[in-house]
Structure 1
Amino acid sequence: MGDSESCSSRQSEWSPAPVQSRKRRQKVEVFNDVLDKLRELDIEEAAEPGFEDELWAHFSMLPLRYALDVNTERAEDVLLHKKLLNMARDPLTTPAVDVRLVQHRPACDGNSVHSSFNKGDELETNSLQLPPAFGLSSNYENTLDGNESDGQDGKSQNMRPLHEVTISTKDKPKLLSELTCLMSENGLNIQEAHAFCSLDGYSLDVFVVDSWEKGIGHLRNTLVKEISNIEKKSVSKQGRSGFVLPPSHVEIPYDGSDVWEIDASLLTFEYKIASGSNGDLYKGLYRSQDVAVKVFKTEGLNGEMQQEFTQEVYILRKVRHKNVIQFIGACTRPPLLCIVTEFMSGGSVYDFLHKKKGIFKLPAILKVAVDVSKGMSYLHENNIIHRDLKAANLLMDENEVVKIADFGIARVQLQSGIMTAETGTYRWMAPEVIEHKPYNHKADVFSFGVVLWELLTGKIPYAYLTPLQAAVGVVQKGLRPSIPRHTHPLVVELLEKCWQQEPSLRPEFSEIIEILQHMAKKIFEEERVAKKRNLGEPCQIKEEWPMKIENENAV
């Protein structure tokens, strides 16, 4: 939101502030570079009165990283993006799609990929191939190139014909997911992607994909048709009133007899904990009990939000386990739609790691991992797939017991055990889910492996890549988070088991619990022996936590 300045505020970009101020200065520099290059190229539009303000408005409507990522050597691309966004805003020309051939030459010196393109480069087709509008980030390229075999033909590696697809349309929840699914269904392997959203709610998504044999025009027409169908389906869903959901989803009974239906007048809201696109989370009181209240926004309520609310209530009503957040009740009648659960005073594991900069030592990591594994084992035994397992959805109580939360996109597994459609968060997502292939509960095991790595390192997975870059790497290059050199061998072994590309090779959570308990016992014994050796005499070692892990029974 801090990137919404007007044309008149350009000079304020130079105000002395830390990193953000430096990046905004870079944005002004990029804007000036693009403007100068357009004028040097004698672009007719650039000479028109008011063009400078229009161009600045374009940069201001998009996130700061748009300016930092765009290839200034291809200033014309900025005009294309501006044109596509304007077309998307017009009901007669939306969705706006552009397709062009581009050429990727891997950079040899670790510098930006753009430096590897020279004016006038040609492929054997004799048509000029331009560099991508954004290209591959050096981190992404170096990461993926490390997995390439050395025996490839030099010519094919230096000159790769690709298509760049730029799409602009009205933004909506999970649009990016639907577009990547569309690419996959049409046989397009995404090599690179950049996704932006304008302040007035329009998307600008740029994909670099493998060449399309049927030609540019055919690819563009195919995408326009398919994206239009996606938009029509979205409008159809939004047109539904009340709580009428697709028949594949379970309805919540509304006969007023359910004991979980909460009287809104008995709820007291104390303070806001967090905000999201679909609602807000509050600390509150219900009958003198501390509770967390997840309130859904009722204005603009669409079928997707209704589905999330309905599914979460349905699943939370079914489950009761000490490592799963406890459901207290829900208000299911507008204007107040909310879900009430126990309040977890310790906050999320994500906040502890990344906001409070907390550190888990190995014994504590194993304890957290056991808590999560027991909760997940219970869910899977009850045919529930979480589908969004990550540190942000793991909460701690006052006794540091970790519980699994946020069941908005969880689902009851079908009798066949196979599910489809992408969901979850890219950095933690299993490859089969990213690829929109049929998947089962083993997708949660892959995500658990990423969570375990997160606990171990205190870092965000693939922090040097965008989420979509990470997804492409996981699927096409077998990319996994880098395991620290001195990690205990047993932990390394478990991580590698969870990250198997083939889901059937990943362990069940019941097996993971046994592995973790054995690991805790072995590591405790190693530490005990090491301390004795260092002290040169017997020492009293507290055995409470590993014994507690080993003997604890799931409730």
Structure 2
Amino acid sequence: MDILDDSKNTSICMQCNQRIINYSNQLCRKQFLSPSRINEYSKIRGVQINQENKIESGNLIIDEFIKETQLNSKCCDDFIEWVSCSNLENIKYLTFGGNSKIYSGTWKLNQLSTNIALKVTKNSNNINDNILNELKIHHKCRSQNIIPFYGITKSPEGDEYAMIIKHAEHGDLRNYIRKFFPKLTWTDRIKILIELSKALNSLHQMNLLHMDFHCKNILVDEADRIFLSDFGLCQPIDSEMVSSSIQGVLPYIAPEVLRNKPYTKQSEVYSISMIMWELTSNKPPFSNKHHDVELALSILDGLRPNTVEGTPDFYTNIMKQCWDSDPLKRPDASLLPKIFEEMIELCKMADDKTVSSKVAFYSLPPQIESERETKSFGFDNMLPAYHSESEEKLFMSNENSFVDIDIEPGI
């Protein structure tokens, strides 16, 4: 499914009067094209690409990927552009995460400028299937809740390639929570969850699973808009990787995945429950524990973070449903935006202290409960909540299972 075919996911650009994915007062990419590229862009809009035009990436695979995005462009901001390093200024190293370095900078052309971030993936000078997969999936996922992917350039250091994406002023959601936690209201929290669940739904509608859904891969811009990012582990639902690997940040990985069951949409509902908890606690789940086999087995035994005092019961109720060991008992992923939206008024009352948390207890409306039962993805052979001796041997003997799990120190 192409979500750009739905008019609800696009608006009209105020600069070029064509469809735009971002809000209408955001970046019109057509204006960032050089004069020679504007002519090519016009031809592309008529589905006529100049095959003789040379993209200067120095890599045939990247050249073909860029041309493909331009040929299939439907909006003024949904194609990838090769950007010369000469058009990038004020490049500053920000951080290192996973296998990528992140820089900030300014993209300048035609007397225009915009703040951007550069994501440099390790060994991207050799474009392999994994790196190309991330580029293609990030572009495919483009929507208002996905961090905009503008172009590709050379790394500020070395021969590797860098993705040019929108700069998120507040960084990742974890940084945002820490920065604004004293001011966060329950209404603020639920609005974040509404946007996150919509972003997740946009992926699921394209038959994709993010598979690395946690606060460090969620970005927040200067307008407090929420964006999903980092598609390095993202895979089609029917991919072999979905059913054959355990990857990600351990506290966010659903119990069924730890049991080597297939990763599903409902597995990402579990991840949302951990984000819900982090929004109430101002710290990552299980930050006081080593992220190792012992913690994995404890999660299989039913270990979950302790509910933070002062959390309204209606919020706690949904959070606990989302982290249920049985995927069938979690709210259906497609219904989460509706569920969170229905919590808005309760959050406003909780913020005004006009209703106590005991009175504001929320349960799913009957119609949602009914839909959830028919739509949920489940397993016929789901293991019990406790772990068996064979499971323990599996974790102990298969050291590679946790190679890609991020280890976070206690705080």
- Normalised by the size of structure 1, how large is the TM-score? 0.46
Q: Which has the higher contact order (CA 8 A, sep 6+)?
A: 2
Distance in 2 (alpha carbons) for counterparts of 1:243 and 1:389: 31
Q: Secondary structure at the match of 1:293?
A: strand
Partner of 1:319: 141
Partner of 1:436: 260
Partner of 1:467: 291
1:423 equivalent in alignment to 2:250: no
Partner of 1:289: 114
Distance in 2 (alpha carbons) for counterparts of 1:313 and 1:327: 9
Does the aligned pair in 2 maintain the 1:352–1:358 contact within 8 Å?
no
In the TM superposition, what is the alpha-carbon distance from 1:263 to its structure 2 partner?
A: 3.1
Structure 1 residues 295 and 516, CA, compared in 2 at 3 Å: closer, same or farther? same
1:496 equivalent in alignment to 2:316: no
Does the aligned pair in 2 maintain the 1:421–1:437 contact within 8 Å?
no
The one-letter code of the counterpart of 2:223 is N
Partner of 1:298: 123
Q: Which of 184, 204, 209 lines up with 1:380 in the alignment? A: 204
The one-letter code of the counterpart of 2:152 is A
Q: Secondary structure at the match of 2:314?
A: helix
Q: Secondary structure at the match of 2:267?
A: helix
Distance in 2 (alpha carbons) for counterparts of 1:352 and 1:503: 29
In the TM superposition, what is the alpha-carbon distance from 1:268 to its structure 2 partner?
A: 3.2
Partner of 1:105: none
Distance in 2 (alpha carbons) for counterparts of 1:424 and 1:302: 24
Residue by residue, what CA displacement relative to the aligned partner does 1:186-226 show, whole Å, maximum 9, x if unpaired? Answer: xxxxxxxxxxxxxxxxxxxxxxxxxxxxxxxxxxxxxxxxx
1:275 equivalent in alignment to 2:96: yes
Does the aligned pair in 2 maintain the 1:267–1:285 contact within 8 Å?
yes
The one-letter code of the counterpart of 1:254 is E
In the TM superposition, what is the alpha-carbon distance from 1:433 to its structure 2 partner?
A: 1.8
Distance in 2 (alpha carbons) for counterparts of 1:395 and 1:416: 29
Q: Secondary structure at the match of 1:271?
A: strand
The one-letter code of the counterpart of 2:147 is I
Identity of aligned residues (%): 24
1:520 equivalent in alignment to 2:340: no
1:262 equivalent in alignment to 2:262: no
Q: Which of 214, 217, 226 lines up with 1:402 in the alignment? A: 226
Distance in 1 (alpha carbons) for counterparts of 2:345 and 2:98: 43
Q: Secondary structure at the match of 2:105?
A: strand
Tell me how large the CA RMSD over aligned residues is.
Answer: 3.1
Partner of 1:310: 132
Q: Which of 150, 156, 175 lines up with 1:328 in the alignment? A: 150
Does the aligned pair in 1 maintain the 2:243–2:260 contact within 8 Å?
no
- Normalised by the size of structure 2, how large is the TM-score? 0.61
Distance in 1 (alpha carbons) for counterparts of 2:307 and 2:170: 27
Structure 1 residues 332 and 253, CA, compared in 2 at 3 Å: closer, same or farther? farther
Residue by residue, what CA displacement relative to the aligned partner does 1:55-109 show, whole Å, maximum 9, x if unpaired? Answer: xxxxxxxxxxxxxxxxxxxxxxxxxxxxxxxxxxxxxxxxxxxxxxxxxxxxxxx
Distance in 2 (alpha carbons) for counterparts of 1:464 and 1:253: 46
In the TM superposition, what is the alpha-carbon distance from 1:505 to its structure 2 partner?
A: 2.5
Does the aligned pair in 1 maintain the 2:81–2:150 contact within 8 Å?
no
Partner of 1:36: none
Distance in 1 (alpha carbons) for counterparts of 2:241 and 2:266: 10
In the TM superposition, what is the alpha-carbon distance from 1:458 to its structure 2 partner?
A: 0.9
Q: Secondary structure at the match of 1:275?
A: strand
Residue by residue, what CA displacement relative to the aligned partner does 1:396-431 show, whole Å, maximum 9, x if unpaired? Answer: 111111111111111122189963311111021111
Does the aligned pair in 1 maintain the 2:203–2:209 contact within 8 Å?
yes
In the TM superposition, what is the alpha-carbon distance from 1:454 to its structure 2 partner?
A: 0.2
Q: Secondary structure at the match of 1:504?
A: helix
Structure 1 residues 285 and 521, CA, compared in 2 at 3 Å: closer, same or farther? same
Distance in 2 (alpha carbons) for counterparts of 1:447 and 1:423: 13
In the TM superposition, what is the alpha-carbon distance from 1:292 to its structure 2 partner?
A: 0.8
Specify every segment of 5 or more residues in structure 2 that has no aligned partner in the other structure, as ranges. 1-57, 71-79, 356-411
Residue by residue, what CA displacement relative to the aligned partner does 1:413-452 show, whole Å, maximum 9, x if unpaired? Answer: 2189963311111021111222222221211110111011
Structure 1 residues 295 and 492, CA, compared in 2 at 3 Å: closer, same or farther? same
Does the aligned pair in 1 maintain the 2:172–2:220 contact within 8 Å?
yes
Structure 1 residues 273 and 437, CA, compared in 2 at 3 Å: closer, same or farther? same
Partner of 1:178: none
Distance in 2 (alpha carbons) for counterparts of 1:515 and 1:255: 38
In the TM superposition, what is the alpha-carbon distance from 1:460 to its structure 2 partner?
A: 1.7
Does the aligned pair in 1 maintain the 2:210–2:235 contact within 8 Å?
yes
Structure 1 residues 490 and 332, CA, compared in 2 at 3 Å: closer, same or farther? same
Q: Secondary structure at the match of 1:347?
A: coil
Distance in 2 (alpha carbons) for counterparts of 1:443 and 1:525: 31
